[in-house]
Chains A and B, each alone.
Chain A
Amino acid sequence: MAGNDYLTQIVTRILIYGILVLSVEMCWGQTGIFTFGQAALFGIGGYVVGLVTTKSTVTDIGKLLLVAVIAGALVGLILGIFLFSGKRVGELYVALVTLAISYICERLANSWTLLGSGNGIPGIPYPTIFGKEIGSAMGLFFLTFVVFAIALILCIIIVNSQFGLTMNAVRDDEERAEFFGYRRSVVQIAIFVFSAALAASGGALFAVSEGFVSPSMSGLALSTTTVLWVVLGGRGTFYGPLIALTVLQVVNIQMQNALPSLWPILVGFMLLLTMIFLPKGLTSLPAKIRESRRKHVQI
Chain B
Amino acid sequence: MFKKGSTRRNTAILASAVAMLGSLTFAPAQAAQTVKIGVLTDMTGAFGIVGKSNKAVAQFTINEINKSGGVLGRKLVMVLADSATDPAVATQVASKLVNQDKVAVVVGGVASFTRVAIRDVIAKRGKTLYIWPASYEGNECSNNVWNTGSAPNQQVDPVVKHLLSQGKKTFYLAGSDYLYPRNILARVRQVVLAGGGSIVGEEYVPLDMTDPSNLVSKVLASKADALFEVVVLPGTGPFIKGVVDGGFKGTIAGTLFDEGINPIIGKQADGLIGAQDFYLPVTDAFTKATVAKFNKQHPEAAGLFSATFNAPAWYRSIYLWKAAVEKAKSFDTAKVNKAMDSISLKQSIGGPVSFAPGTKHLNLPMYLGKSNADGSNTIVKSLGTIAPYECAKKQ
Interface residues of A (CB under 8 A from B): 1, 4-7, 9-11, 13, 107, 110-111, 113, 116-120, 122-123, 156, 159-160, 210-212, 214, 216-217, 237-239, 243, 246-247, 250-251, 253-254, 256-257, 260-261, 283, 286
A111 close to B3 (CB less than 8 A): no
Q: Which B residues from 77 to 94 make CB contacts under 8 A with A? A: 81-82, 84, 86-89, 91-93
A260 close to B179 (CB less than 8 A): no
A5 close to B43 (CB less than 8 A): no
B29: interface (CB < 8 Å): no
B186: interface (CB < 8 Å): no
Nearest-Cβ distance from residue B51 to partner chain A, whole angstroms: 10
The residue from A238, A250, A260 contacting B82, defined by CB atoms under 8 A apart: A260
Contacts A/B (CB < 8 Å), 6 sampled: A113-B177, A122-B117, A122-B119, A122-B120, A212-B116, A254-B23
B206 close to A110 (CB less than 8 A): yes
The residue from B10, B82, B95, B117 contacting A120, defined by CB atoms under 8 A apart: B117
Residues in A with CB closer than 8 Å to B24 are 6-7, 10, 250, 253-254
Residues in B with CB closer than 8 Å to A253 are 24, 92
The residue from B5, B14, B100 contacting A243, defined by CB atoms under 8 A apart: B14
B88 close to A210 (CB less than 8 A): yes
Residues in A with CB closer than 8 Å to B93 are 256
B1 close to A237 (CB less than 8 A): yes
A1 close to B25 (CB less than 8 A): yes
Give the nearest-CB partner of A210 in chain B.
B91
B206 close to A119 (CB less than 8 A): no
Minimum-distance CB pairs A-B, first 6: A118-B178, A6-B99, A122-B116, A6-B100, A5-B99, A260-B82
Residues in A with CB closer than 8 Å to B100 are 4, 6-7
Indicate whether A159 sits within 8 Å of B21 (C-beta atoms), given known contacts A4-B100, A119-B116.
Answer: no
Interface of A is mostly: helix
Most buried by B among A4, A246, A260: A260
A119 close to B1 (CB less than 8 A): no
B370: interface (CB < 8 Å): no
How many pairs, one residue from A and one from B, have CB atoms within 8 Å of each other in the complex?
Answer: 127
Residues in B with CB closer than 8 Å to A120 are 87, 113, 116-117
Most buried by A among B81, B84, B92, B100: B92
Indicate whether A119 sits within 8 Å of B21 (C-beta atoms), given known contacts A6-B96, A212-B117, A214-B117.
Answer: no
Q: What's the Cα separation between A238 and B2 when bound, in Å?
A: 7
The residue from A210, A211, A243, A261 contacting B13, defined by CB atoms under 8 A apart: A243
Q: What's the Cα separation between A235 and B44 when bound, in Å?
A: 32
Residues in A with CB closer than 8 Å to B178 are 110, 117-119
Give the nearest-CB partner of B97 in chain A.
A6
Nearest-Cβ distance from residue A10 to partner chain B, whole angstroms: 6
B87 close to A212 (CB less than 8 A): yes
Q: Which B residues from 98 to 129 make CB contacts under 8 A with A? A: 98-100, 112-113, 116-117, 119-121, 125
A9 close to B95 (CB less than 8 A): yes
Q: Which B residues from 204 to 221 make CB contacts under 8 A with A? A: 204, 206-208
B9: interface (CB < 8 Å): yes
Give the nearest-CB partner of B5 in chain A.
A286
Give the nearest-CB partner of A158 in chain B.
B1
Give the nearest-CB partner of A222 in chain B.
B88
A256 close to B84 (CB less than 8 A): yes
B21 close to A110 (CB less than 8 A): no
Give the nearest-CB partner of A286 in chain B.
B9
Residues in B with CB closer than 8 Å to A13 are 92
Nearest-Cβ distance from residue B376 to partner chain A, whole angstroms: 30
Q: What's the Cα separation between A148 and B350 when bound, in Å?
A: 54
Residues in B with CB closer than 8 Å to A261 are 43-44
B206 close to A107 (CB less than 8 A): yes
B20: interface (CB < 8 Å): yes
Q: What's the Cα separation between A85 and B233 when bound, in Å?
A: 44
A260 close to B84 (CB less than 8 A): yes
Q: What's the Cα separation between A116 and B95 when bound, in Å?
A: 23
A118 close to B25 (CB less than 8 A): no
The residue from A110, A237, A238 contacting B207, defined by CB atoms under 8 A apart: A110
The residue from A10, A110, A211 contacting B120, defined by CB atoms under 8 A apart: A211
B176: interface (CB < 8 Å): yes
Residues in B with CB closer than 8 Å to A214 are 87-88, 113, 117
Nearest-Cβ distance from residue A152 to partner chain B, whole angstroms: 11
A123 close to B206 (CB less than 8 A): no
B345: interface (CB < 8 Å): no
